[in-house]
Amino acid sequence: MESEDMLGLGDGAGPSSSQPGEVLPGPSSQPGEVLPPPPPNPPQMATQSGPFSTEPVEVLPPPPPLPPQMAQKPPEAPRVLTKRPGQGRAGRPVKLLCNHFRVGFSNLQDSFHYDVKITGERGVNGVNGNGNEKEVVSKILCRRIMDKVKEIYGETELGNKDFAYDGEKSLFTVGPLKSNNIECIVVIDDERSSRRPIGNGSPSQIEQSKKRREDRGEKFKVEITFAAKISMKTLQAVIQGEVSDKAQDALRVLDIVLRQHASRKGYLLVRQSFFHWSFAPLVELGGGVTGCRGYHISFRPTQSGLSLNMDVSTTMLIKENEVIEFLLANQGVDNPWKINWSKAKQVLKGVRIATLHNRMEFKIIGFSEKPCKDQLFSMKVRSQGNQEEPLQTVDVTVYDYFVNTKNTPLQKSADLPCLDVGRKRKPNYLPLELCRILPGQRYTKGLSSQQRTSLVEQSRQKPDERMQVLLKAMDVNNYNEDPLLRACNIKVDNQLVRLDGRVLDPPTLKFGKMEEAPRNGRWNFNNKTMVRAAKIGDWAIASFNSRIRSNEIMNMGRELQQCCGRRGLVMADCLGVLEEGPQDRNRNPVDRVERMLNQMKSRLPKPPHFLLCILPERKNSDLYGPWKKKFLSDLGVINQCIAPVNMKKVNDQYLTNVALKINAKVGGLNSVLSVEFAHRIPKISMKPTIIIGMDVSHGSPGHADSPSISAVVSSREWPLISRYRASVRTQSPKVEMIEALYKPLPSGKDAGMISELLVDFYQSCNPPPNVERKPQQMIVFRDGVSESQFDQVLNVELQAIYKACNHIEAGYKPKITMIVAQKNHHTKLFPGGGGPGNVQPGTIVDSQICHPRNFDFFLCPQAGPIGTSRPTHYHVLLDENDFSVDDLQILVHALSYVYQRSTTAISSVAPINYAHLAASQMQQFLKAEDLSETASRSGKGEGSVASGGGYSAPVPELPVLHRNVCNTMFFC
């Protein structure tokens, strides 16, 4: 929707003593039906070093230390994942198809794992320059070498055994090789650059070229050493529900067999996904980048046995083109003199090119320091062509060499740098215009917002189209003919799995005067009011968009005011419109925001309580981060950013979407669950329950040194479950486990996120009489972790939560239910009839394709009008609250309906989406200021987040949110 904040993020504000959040009761037909306003936030709560309390407490001296024998607790045994308690029964049954394929096996043969070490010619005949063997690391070269080993030594050393090789250090066979230690030597054409001529030639020329390559080919020594015996029978044990780490080794063997199968067909391998430009037409994304469609494939143990999960996948490729043309497109400039060569080096390093003048292949390592006409290199020549004279070394420019010596005219390269395709200490320069990028190379840098949008739009497939693509891929690959799978006695069915699912009924929602059950995962605010509407006093509009005229802005402001009024959100008259002057539009974003602030101070009689900001671009405005930092962190002014593409589209629906976000930010509630309003949610309404969502946002590709942002949001105002508050921290780059859940300080305080959120819950909840305020139950949703990290979540993050609880009050240990939500998986559900539409909203599957032992299920709450819906895969790691299967699944489904900025059910629970929004928005804060200055400016107080995870530089802290907005849904 076009009113979404930039980058899909929220903004923020809510009720506090110094902001506009006067909450009005929603219209009601019966007394006492309206939700009470949130209680005022009391002053600092004295629980950081003592029990929960809102009253000042006498600080007691610390107890004496325990004797060593009592103080040292025995280490706790590692927790294991919760076993599936049963299957749900709620909902109506439905027949489904799934992109899994049954795998049958019998009399499984053991596999043998061998370590592979490949060293180059210098490692065979001696040592290289630094005294070490030259070990080969290129996967492409390693595969060529092992193919040669099989060709030469297949009948002798390998005993005619097929093997699966991962391209690195592992090789697998069915049954053992003749010897536990095999050593052999092969010769490969000079790979030092694939400097092989390409194209066609006469048979005699080809043979002569081949002979020359063999003469200068490099020798490689291959050492194959026995490592372990892998019992494939462990797969049967896992399918029967047993816990077995060894089964992962067996699955790895099968996955490597699939990779080798794809490698021999010429596919580009990216982990468990395989791509080829012949699989489907390339997708033009702009900027010199194309999308290449392929498929992901992996074996998975399920309740119905082993299955092969296949899904359509897409990766980005560098477009085959001349290097200069690619750089112009990639940087969006119209001539080579505008190219940023520093950025060009980052993009092109490691890219393979072919020369146009002699059709040879090289790999780029960088650029020359000087332009082609000035870049010198040394070459040996004989004076005046006299063959009897000794060779002399002379310096010549790259330009002169190609023009005069090679008789190759250069039209564009004289004043441009050269490509360096040599080695670090031995450069080899080529003029740019003579180089062309070879096809089939991945583009690993971050995509622009336009490229991402184009990729999404052009990669969409209707469910029936996706099914046909997958069935065709199964036929083309014909896995049942793979010699290794046949040797393992494994056979793959070529039909989609049929399974039984259920469709959960949508929860009934409560609005101001009425209740309504959404249809097809959707609802609207026509003739409805917000369940708890706020009141906004002084407000103004700031516009950075020069395309929208002043009168249009004023009209939109009045229409927004009227639209909010119809929904119950009362807004005073707008104080005025602030427009950026033409002289400021070319300034840097920070200065533009500062000048807008100065204009606001000079023109408005008093600071506004709310600001509507009109940005010039959707999703990618450089102004977004500086604007948010200035008004959320420095000034504490609630604001909402919009970027209407076309004023004609600013209709009532658009303004209603904006109104929903504004109301959530200033402390209101748009809609709630009817059972939430009536305090009838099983388990949750009985005892104080805090619902938590956790996520980590990493820096974009190409920015490996950017700190990661961890965000934890928690519910507040219990017995409600629809309002949330966020706690956000920076942490070490690319670290997935959240580091600051528990952060004890030398002073005795806990600066962690869990403590902060528990205190907020305690202060904001509205318990019935004689019910305590501190949460007795926790439901924790964790996003963004893979199955291999579940143990860390249970034994690192969960333990940190326990420690934070015990720190805030000795012996305090609420019961915890911990659930991981996975969206980045490859299971898709289709209607059983195979029609063009998606599965119905509320479709749930907890049998057949789920884990044979662990408690997991697939849930698709959302409607899927475009493309193929992706269900969210939920894994219940721990359930100390003893939910019934139905109650837990219905709760998870309902939490997809409490997302305050939307009138549709979302694909996963709201707290996880809020955590993602909070982390992403705070990432914009870091972009708004120089990281090195942030690190030096940030306070070194007790809230500092220490660096960790092997990160050498200090992790910069986030700017602190202003006290007016820190307790609000600023991210909504």
Mean pLDDT over residues 944-962, rounded?
Answer: 63
How many Cβ atoms are within 10 Å of 395's Cβ, its own excluded? 8
Say which residue, 715 or 55, is predicted with more confidence.
715
pLDDT digits (tens, 9 = 90+) for 592-634: 999 999 999 999 988 899 999 999 987 668 899 999 999 999 9
How many Cβ atoms are within 10 Å of 17's Cβ, its own excluded? 10
pLDDT digits (tens, 9 = 90+) for 721-730: 999 999 999 9
Q: How far apart are CA 497 and CA 95, in angstroms?
A: 11
Q: In the prediction, which pLDDT does 586 show? A: 86
Local structure of 467: helix, strand or coil: helix
Q: Which residue carries 């230690």 as its tokens? A: 181
The residues with which 726 forms a beta bridge, in sequence order, are 713
pLDDT digits (tens, 9 = 90+) for 926-938: 877 653 343 334 3
Reported as a pLDDT band with limits 50, 70 and 90, residue 12 is very low
Q: Is the pLDDT of residue 6 over 90?
A: no
Reported as a pLDDT band with limits 50, 70 and 90, residue 204 is very low
Residues of the chain above pLDDT 70, percent = 83
First-residue to last-residue Cα distance in the chain: 14
Amino acid at site 802: Y
- The answer for residues whose C-beta is within 8 angstroms of residue 573's C-beta and 6 or more apart is 561
Q: In the prediction, which pLDDT does 32 show? A: 38
Q: In the prediction, which pLDDT does 206 show? A: 42
User: What tokens does 692 get?
Assistant: 């938590």
Reported as a pLDDT band with limits 50, 70 and 90, residue 9 is very low
pLDDT digits (tens, 9 = 90+) for 388-413: 667 778 888 999 989 888 888 898 88
Q: In the prediction, which pLDDT does 128 show? A: 43
Average pLDDT, the chain: 84
Reported as a pLDDT band with limits 50, 70 and 90, residue 796 is very high
- The DSSP line for 71-106 is H-PPPPPPP-PPBP------SEEEEEEEEEEEEEE-
Rg (CA), the chain: 32
Q: How far apart are CA 872 and CA 881, in angstroms?
A: 22
- How far is residue 213 CA from its own chain's centroid? 45
Q: Is the pLDDT of residue 942 over 50?
A: no
In angstroms, the Cα distances linking 277 to 250, 266, 270, 656 are 31, 10, 14, 44
User: What tokens does 469 get?
Assistant: 């693509």
- The answer for residues whose C-beta is within 8 angstroms of residue 289's C-beta and 6 or more apart is 316, 317, 318, 319, 330, 443, 447, 451
The number of helix segments (H) and strand segments (E) in the chain equals 23, 39
User: What tokens does 178 get?
Assistant: 């003749």
- Tell me the domains of the chain and their CATH numbers: 321-438 (2.170.260.10), 533-668 (3.40.50.2300)
Q: Is the pLDDT of residue 263 over 90?
A: no
Amino acid at site 9: L
Nearest alpha-carbon partner for 293 in 553, 533, 469, 500: 469
Q: Is the pLDDT of residue 572 over 90?
A: yes
Say which residue, 44 or 652, is predicted with more confidence.
652
Q: Is the pLDDT of residue 954 over 90?
A: no
Q: In the prediction, which pLDDT does 60 show? A: 45
Reported as a pLDDT band with limits 50, 70 and 90, residue 702 is low
Q: In the prediction, which pLDDT does 793 show? A: 96
pLDDT digits (tens, 9 = 90+) for 497-507: 999 999 999 99
Mean pLDDT over residues 754-770, rounded?
Answer: 93
Q: Which residue carries 């921290």 as its tokens? A: 729
Task: Let me know: does 260 contact 165? Beta carbons within 8 Å.
Answer: yes
